[in-house]
Amino acid sequence: MADTTKEGVSRRGFLSWLGLAWTAFSAAMAASGIALARFMFPNVLFEPPMSFKVGRPEEFALGVDERFKPQGVWIVKTTKEIFALSTVCTHLGCTPNWLSAEQKFKCPCHGSGYYVSGVNFEGPTPRPLERFAVFVADDGQVVVDKNRIFQYEKGQWTDPQSHILLS
Amino acid sequence: MIKIIINWLALPYMYVSIAIVLFFLTIRSRKLWTGKAGGLLLLGSILFLAYSLTDEHFRGLVTRPDNVPIVMLLFAVGFFVWFALKQAHENDERVMQGKPLDEVAWKDKVFVWPNLVYTELICMVVATIVLVVWSIYIPAPLEQPANPSSSPNPSKAPWYFLGLQEMLVYFDPWIAGVLLPGFIILGLMATPYIDKNPKGNGYYTFKERKFAITIYLFGFSIMWVLLIINGTFLRGPNWNFFGPYEPWDIHKLVPLNNVNLSEFIYVKFLGTGLPKHWFFREIFGIALVVGYFAVGHWYLAKKLLKRFHDLMGPVRFHLMAFLLLVMVATIAKMYLRWTMNLKYIIGISEFFFNI
Amino acid sequence: MPGLKDVMESVKESQVWKSVARNPLPSNARTRALAVLNNVFLHLHPVRAPQSGIRLKYTWCMGGLTFFVFLVEVITGILLMFYYRPTVEFAYADIIDLREQAPLGLMRELHRWGAHTMVITVWLHMMRVFMTGAYKPPREFNWVVGVVLLLLTLLLSFTGYLLPWDQLAMWAVTVGTNMARATPFVGYEGPGAALLKLGDINLVHSADDVRFALLAGRFVGEATLLRFYVLHCVAIPFVATILMAVHFWRIRKDGGISGPM
């Protein structure tokens, strides 16, 4: 066996350097892998605004207002409150249709059905539609803020921001 | 009258049951139908198609441009399953009579030029002609411009994913869209490492690989192709079931009030109402699922497939048994939905965890 | 007057012909072997193969057809790229123009029906390989590569689905990518996602989960179209081509076309 100590690098020392080098190499590969994955998440989104005004509370008729469906909300007015329902089916994200004759939201993709309140009652959907934050701005208009979501199954529909109470 | 009967037979639990029974019948009686009966079967299916084309709704459905490949797929899968089983049966007969396999009888080496390159050239020319003629006669479909605020009714995934979309009716997306496809891919990749049977390597045979071929053909033809057919032709507006001759009525009302297992037990049988804490509420479902897999693994390993267990070793065997049990459980859940409107066996929507 | 035969003869003797073809036309054992060996495309094949394996009855030519249809897709796809702009503004109109205005007006049809055909042939190829037990040793790994190629075929078709930017495209992709939303732990509606949080802040939400990376946004929009376009035209074909090379190479290295061992 060759005597490696003569050259100043022992066998053991060489192996530990080798181990360090491989560790560093693997770490660098992993880091670049993570950086590459991060590259796929854009920093800036070119999407429509998440918060917008929809009109004064008294302008809405009782029932479901479909005017803001393109922005992703139904404004629902009952005798007690106004709330904003998300138009995204909680099953797989299709847009349900409002069937006024049957007084329900029905999703065309997999047949999920929701009451006016947004609570699910038929089909494969696991949970009710989500509600967005609504409040009355200084100028008396209702503002829908899609950044904040209220989920029924988490008991969030009692939150004061999840609806506007009508006196 | 025939149409009413066929519409009735096309109810999900009817036709899936029929398909499963037919599948095992054809496997058993392959001697019969790999012969002349196969031709009769083909003739029968063509007659059925011809008869069905007289129905306006059916014709509209089958001749939709995007559905043409599915009809092709149906006939192609039928033909090639028949063709493969026929060759397998012939080889099995040869082995029984003590003759060499067909592949062995033809094992002499020949020059690739011209024997193979010309075959390939002819295949390419035929494929090109088929594609060009197809493209000339059937324009590629284009619907209305994309509109994020209105989903078409019904909205369907690409046809080759319709089997998975069908699963979405019975399972939550994380099972139907992530877990089950994951198991399919994993199972396919693991196949050569699970299958330790040294026989049947490189030639058509059935007898020497009964189990492997039966499972594979069942998975491919019933759980993949049949569900694609189902999703294409039998699922209509609001994702309701429609018979092949039943017009797609948007207002067809089908009550879909599905009930969780916990509600069946606590509300219907015990009459006590649901417990507050999710663990006690779902304890029966959890017990059922855990019990199913535990007993299933035990029964397969110790009783039903003991032979395989000894041959394959525990790791291979339990991987296979698990995939097999998932396959059976998937069908079982579909039947439970069709017959009892069962929604979830375990339903913990607090954690998005529903089975 | 020189006859046709003499002309052919002089062409075959010319320096240009010889430099291209390298060997005489295949007529005997030696020249047939050379024809396959010396040609970069044909040398995918061995010089000689067992007759049982190259009969149409045995292979159905499904693997070969799949590869051929892939080439058709590459060629028609490149031609389509000359006329198609992957933006919300132009995509739909460009698709209409491909039929109405572009010469021949057939490329999109060829591409779409070719894509469907490729999915079918790939499935049937897998069935043939299974039915002949051709995944058994020593071909296990090539079967695994084949399964990945099958997956890539489906992904290619799926990413191409969005490009016409019609209702079918939009909603098929919405439904398809929403499944990613439910991936355990990395999708914000998947089981386990709610457990990943620091204090009150959810680590996995609609703007940083796996679906967000696929769509480059919270819903299917302009950025998604571009992303799917790049995946469809460059990224997935790139990976698929490499894997195809591995697949074909391994057929040869694992004992050639399958047959009784």
Read off the pLDDT of residues B84-140 as tens digits, 9 standing for 90 and up. Answer: 998 999 999 999 999 888 888 888 889 988 889 999 999 999 999 999 999 999 988
CA distance B266 to B285: 12
**Where in the sequence is the domain holding A157, given as residue range(s)?**
51-165
Task: Please tell me which residue of chain C has the smallest CA distance to A127.
Answer: C189
Chain B touched by C50 (CB under 8 Å): yes
Check pLDDT > 90 for residue C142.
yes
Yes or no, beta carbons of A41 and C219 under 8 Å apart: no
User: Chain A residue with minimal CA distance to B148?
Assistant: A70
Is residue A20 located within the same domain as residue A90? no
Is position A117 within any domain?
yes
C-alpha angle B258/B260/B263, rounded to 5°? Answer: 115
Residue A121: CATH number of its domain: 2.102.10.10
Exposure letters C3-35 (e unless 16+ CB within 10 A, then b): eeeeeeeeeeeeeeeeeeeeeeebeeeeebbbb
What lies within 8 Å, CB to CB, of B307 at 6+ separation is none
pLDDT greater than 70 at residue A1: no
Q: Mark yes or no for CB contact B168/A124 under 8 Å.
A: yes
Q: Which among B125-129, B137-141, B148-152, C217-221 has the top mean pLDDT?
A: B125-129
Collect all residues with Cβ–Cβ distance below 8 Å to B93 and sequence separation of at least 6.
none
B169, A110 in Cβ contact below 8 A?
yes
A93 and A14 fall within a common domain = no
A&B contacts, CB < 8 Å? 67
Alpha helices in chain C (DSSP H): 4-13, 15-21, 29-37, 51-54, 56-59, 62-81, 91-100, 107-131, 140-162, 167-181, 210-215, 222-230, 236-253
Whether B178 and C123 lie within 8 Å, measured CB to CB: no
Indicate whether A45 belongs to any domain: no
Indicate the length of chain C as a whole number. 261
Which positions ≥6 away from B251 have C-beta within 8 Å? none
Looking at the complex, report in whole angstroms how far the Cα of residue C167 sits from the nearest Cα belonging to chain B: 4
Contact A113 B173 (CB under 8 A): no
**Spatial CA neighbour of C134 closest among C62, C36, C71, C43:** C62
Chain A residues with a Cβ under 8 Å from any Cβ in chain B: 69-70, 72, 87, 91-92, 94-97, 106-111, 113, 121-124, 126-127, 153
Nearest-CB residue to B153 (from A72, A87, A108): A108
pLDDT band at B192 (very low <50, low <70, confident <90, very high): very high
Nearest CA among B76, B98, B102 for reference residue B90: B102
**Residue B36, pLDDT above cutoff 80:** no
Q: What's at C128, amino acid-wise?
A: R
CA–CA distances in Å: residue A44 to residues A40, A125, B128, C220, C223:
12, 32, 45, 15, 11
pLDDT digit string, tens, across residues A108-139: 777 788 999 888 888 778 788 999 999 888 88
Q: Are residues A56 and A120 in the same domain?
A: yes
Other C-beta atoms closer than 10 Å to the C-beta of B80 total 17
Same domain, A109 and A138: yes
Is there a single domain that holds both residue A79 and residue A131?
A: yes
Q: Which two tokens stand for residue C185?
A: 């732990």
Q: What percent of chain C shows pLDDT beyond 70?
A: 99
CB A92 within 8 A of CB A109: yes
- Chain B positions touching A108 (Cβ under 8 A) are 151-155, 237-239
Top pLDDT among B20 and B7 is at: B20
pLDDT at A9 over 80: no
- Per residue in C119-132, pLDDT tens? 999 999 999 999 99
Residue C56 β-bridge partners: none
Helix (H) or strand (E) holding A20: helix A11-39
For the residues B169-194, what does the mean pLDDT come to? 90
- Judged by CB atoms closer than 8 Å, whether chains meet at A46 and C222 is answered as yes
The B-side interface with A (CB below 8 A) comprises: 148-155, 165, 168-170, 172-173, 237-240, 254-258, 347, 349-350, 352, 354
Record the tokens describing residue B265, joined without a space: 């037990």
**Domain spanning C49-253: which CATH class is it, in words?**
mainly alpha
User: What's the number of domains chain A is made of?
Assistant: 2
When pLDDT is cut at 50, 70 and 90, the band that residue A156 belongs to is confident
Q: Are A99 and A106 spatial neighbours (Cβ–Cβ below 8 Å)?
A: yes
Query: Domain segments of chain C: what residues?
Result: 1-47, 49-253
Q: Which residues of chain B have a CB within 8 Å of the CB of A94?
A: 151, 155
Query: Does the pLDDT at position A4 exceed 60?
Result: no
Predicted confidence at residue B256, as pLDDT, reads: 65
ipTM: 0.92
The string of pLDDT tens digits covering residues A12-53 is 888 888 999 999 999 999 999 999 888 888 888 877 778 888
